[in-house]
């Protein structure tokens, strides 16, 4: 990956030179420095869905003490995701270990 010396945008390769898509700046490619670059070309980036059918529920994520609004059980698996702006808290997603009911909690 190469970045433009003029505006800082990411450049792309075109006919032996690096070209900035934002400002048009061009610079020659350097085979020695490119040898150290890492690319995703040829890598398997999507190996398909993961089969979780034979994984014990106890092995899927951490659990916490929280009451399920559906069945009242007191344990649930949880995960936290940043779905709003970065300066706001994460949203907690729960799945009851008893009835598989799913719900979420946000800080208000």
Q: Name the binding residues for Zn(2+).
A: 4, 7, 20, 23, 68, 71, 96, 99
Other CB atoms within 10 Å distance of the CB of residue 67: 13
Distances, alpha carbon 95 to alpha carbons 8, 17, 33, 36, 39, in Å: 44, 52, 49, 44, 38
Q: Name the binding residues.
A: 4, 7, 20, 23, 68, 71, 96, 99
* Residue 66 to residue 73: CA distance in whole angstroms: 8
Q: CB within 8 A of 59, min separation 6: which ones?
A: none
């Amino acid at each position: 990956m190469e970045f433009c010396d003029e505006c800082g945008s990411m450049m792309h390769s075109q006919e032996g030179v690096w070209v900035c898509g934002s400002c048009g700046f061009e610079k020659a490619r350097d085979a020695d420095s490119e040898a150290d670059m890492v690319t995703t070309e040829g890598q398997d980036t999507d190996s398909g869905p993961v089969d979780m059918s034979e994984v014990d529920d106890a092995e899927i994520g951490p659990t916490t003490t929280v009451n399920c609004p559906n069945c009242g059980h007191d344990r649930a698996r949880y995960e936290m995701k940043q779905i709003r702006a970065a300066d706001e808290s994460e949203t907690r997603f729960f799945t009851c270990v008893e009835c598989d009911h799913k719900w979420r909690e946000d800080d208000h």
